A and B are shown apart, each in its own frame.
Chain A
Amino acid sequence: MSTEVIEKTVKEKEALLSKKRKALVTNPLDSDNPVTIQILGICSALAVTIAMKGTLIMAFGLLFVVVMSNIVISAMRNTIPNRIRIIVQLVVVATLVAALDQVLRAYVYEQSKSLSVFVGLIITNCIVMGRLEAYAMGNRPWDSALDGLGNSLGYAWIIIVIAFIRELFGAGKIFGFQVLSKDWYVANGFFATPAAACIILGLIIWGLRARNGYSED
């Protein structure tokens, strides 16, 4: 779980996008990234990153679920009984995910088939529940929405980078268009496997941590 301090008192007249609020969005992109620092959401980062299109839809799906559930839970936070708060969060997240799944099936049927169970598994994505417990339960809806936006964008850019590398070298394509000509490029099947995603992710984590001087303590 994130180590960030939960602020319970927000000044009455804080600017809509004050410095602190901007940090809610920018920190998770880099120094407090949910994937590279907190190591959350790894399962889907390995599973859905085989091609750019599906990955973008997954990133959008997670963004929708995290932001909306953060807003809803934050708005409800003072009415939620402490003893059942996790199950209440789960019901809200599950409702959003089920609705999202229905929308995908109606409008991007082929992609929804290739994402199959992974849309449903957003429910169990640790980033979602992590943000609800760590932030939305103690902060106002607007701040929670920004926090959700930052964290899901932090997840999104990582999986998009992985998908870019995997689709480029694994199939010689980007968004399904052949960019590396089949005449001289033989698609490397290894990049199509989740093992390749694991290695690329490891390298990104290493790079970001080295740059930010992160150390386990």
Chain B
Amino acid sequence: MSKLNINSNGYIFGYSILLTLVCGTLLAFVSETLKEKQSAAILVEKQKFILKAGLGQTSIDGLTGPQVTELYNKVVKVEVVNAKGVAVQEDEAKISTFKEYKKPAADRILPVYVVGKKDNPAEVESFVLPTYGNGLWDNIWAYVAIDGDAETIQGIVFDHKGETAGLGARINDADIQGRFIGKKLAFESSSVNAPDFQKGEGSNYDSDPQKVDGISGATITAKGVNSMLDAYMTLYQPYLSSKKVTK
């Protein structure tokens, strides 16, 4: 057999195609094998966020994945409503907040996580409402926990896809999220005003339940948060109002 010329065009083409096929198949295999584990990890993160918003960070400190799921199943009841606040028959597990966000506001299906007290799950601790919006670079989202009185914010957890590290990405920080605790929703005739991040950072807004100390250098992310909260709290208004009446 004559010696193969590894620098010929034919060999290079063949080599490239073969290499691409081998690497592509390998990656497809890895991705398929790990898919289930990855979706499980994403689900646990969502449960963690809901518990953290609804019961506070200490409720999940030191818990492993399965323990988080156990606590979640014990205290959280899921309701699904439409923008009129009427319960609808939908499987919560199949609802993607992102896909709903792409629909016109009035057509959205909204999950509500009713979090019960840790020692007495039958008694409502808070209503956790998922929200979705745009930050500076990409999507941002939040789980807002509203107290049993249906108007005081009890906890909030933000997350984002690609906000600037050290600036907009600080919405992940516990101290920023803590600034919302105790602030109140203001119900108006056809909308709800959520507390807003103010311009600048370092001011004291303790006396004003509608104002939250801002994030320096992250004006656009903060504006995104403000409009996301206003838009979604307005959507949840019929649901929250109904809870107010029954109290």
Taking beta carbons and an 8 Å cutoff, which residues of A are in contact with B?
79-84, 87-88, 91-92, 94-95, 98-99, 102-103, 105-107, 109-110, 193
Contacts and interface: CB of A to CB of B under 8 A. Distances in A.
Interface string B141-162: 0000000000000000000000
Interface of B: 6-7, 11-12, 15-16, 19-20, 23, 26-27, 30-31, 34, 37-38, 41-42, 44-45, 166
Contact of A102 (B38, B45, B166): B38
B164 to A, nearest CB: 12
A98 B30 CA distance: 9
A193 B27 contact: no
- Across the A-B interface, give the 9 residue pairs with the lowest CB-CB distance, nearest first: A109-B41, A106-B37, A106-B34, A95-B23, A99-B30, A106-B38, A81-B12, A81-B6, A105-B38
Contacts of B42: 109
Contacts of B45: 109-110
B235 to A, nearest CB: 28
Given A84-B12, A95-B26, A105-B34, A79 B41 contact: no
Contact of B27 (A79, A83, A95): A95
Contacts of A87: 16
Nearest to B34: A106
Contact of A103 (B6, B11, B19, B34): B34
Contacts of B6: 79-82
Contacts of A103: 30, 34
Contact of A81 (B7, B41, B44): B7
Nearest to B19: A91
Nearest to A192: B166
Contact of A98 (B7, B12, B27): B27
